[in-house]
Amino acid sequence: MSLKVDKVSSNKCFGGELSKYKFNSPALGGLEAQFNVFIPEVTKIHPAPVLYYLAGLTCNEDTGAWKGGFIRDAADEGIALVFADTSPRGAGVEDEDKDWDFGTGAGFYINATQTKFQKHYNMYDHIVKDLPDAITALGISLDLSRSSIFGHSMGGHGALSIYLLNLDKFLSASAFSAIFNPSNPECAWGKKAFSGYLNGGQEEGKAHDATELVRNAKGKNVHILADYGDADQFYKQKQLLPENFVTAAKEAGFDEQAVHVREHAGYDHSYYFISTFAPVHVKCESESELSTSIDTRRLTLSNYL
């Protein structure tokens, strides 16, 4: 049975249209969920590839669309953007609104196994299953077989882990200031999320940890770009741990053509950082979706540095 998806609002921008939709999400226990879709003008001629954006803690489906600076470049590249929410809304779970980094606005892009969160907190299934089904139900000219995914902070964790768990569904992934190793004891955000949502805590959380997943992806064809700033306060607090991810990728035999992680001097965790490097990420995802060579993608990167 197809989902019933309703349009909430629409704005014309960069020759295309940014629209907000709502539907009752099966993965979120039937709660209403909202998402934004930028549909480029090129869809009047042929279907557009799709790039999903996952936002970070406290954010929602509007954050990336308003602040990321992605839409102009997506319009130029003929890419559709899908902006997801970060958690279920109105689940009514005890203490879900107590802290800014857990519960509402902090679903961590996993499926909960703790009993009180299990019905509604299934953001992994919401992203991987419900959103593609909702987009299909809209009947718009998008090519879901050419999908990629990117995100920021908690959303960077979500993008990298979801990509590595679904290499058959996504062509590439990229991330800004990702939580690269959330099952590591040094990562307080990961410890809080995994111990709160999962019966098995951080041990169970390893199944959704990009560092563990890239280590186990040896021999597979992966395309990952990740950026972070050395002035990021959360990098300094050991919340991100990109070095662990880089080490695991090298141990799995991936060179920088496959997994490219870049440190940027002086940049922080904000959307000022994201918008600075947004064109590189959109361009790289575009060329992956068009099945160009990884060498061409690296050449494109050099043009933006």
Catalytic residue numbers, as ranges: 153, 232, 269
| Biggest alpha carbon–alpha carbon distance for the chain | 50
Residues 6+ apart with CB under 8 A from 161: 109, 208, 209, 210, 213
The sheet carrying 80-83 orders its strands as 6-13, 16-24, 32-39, 80-83, 48-54, 142-152, 173-176, 224-229, 259-264
Structure tokens at 57: 């803690």
Q: How are beta strands 6-13 and 16-24 bridged, if at all?
A: antiparallel
The strand ranges marked E within 155-215 are: 173-176
Alpha-carbon distance of 96 to 109, in angstroms, equals 15
| β partners of residue 102 | 99
Closest CA to 5 of 28, 27, 29, 32: 32
107 in Cβ contact with 57 (< 8 Å):
no
Alpha-carbon distance of 105 to 109, in angstroms, equals 11
11 in Cβ contact with 39 (< 8 Å):
no
Is 56 in a helix, a strand, or coil? coil
- DSSP letter at 167 equals T
Alpha-carbon distance of 113 to 269, in angstroms, equals 30
Structure tokens at 53: 């954006």
The strand ranges marked E within 138-240 are: 142-152, 173-176, 224-229
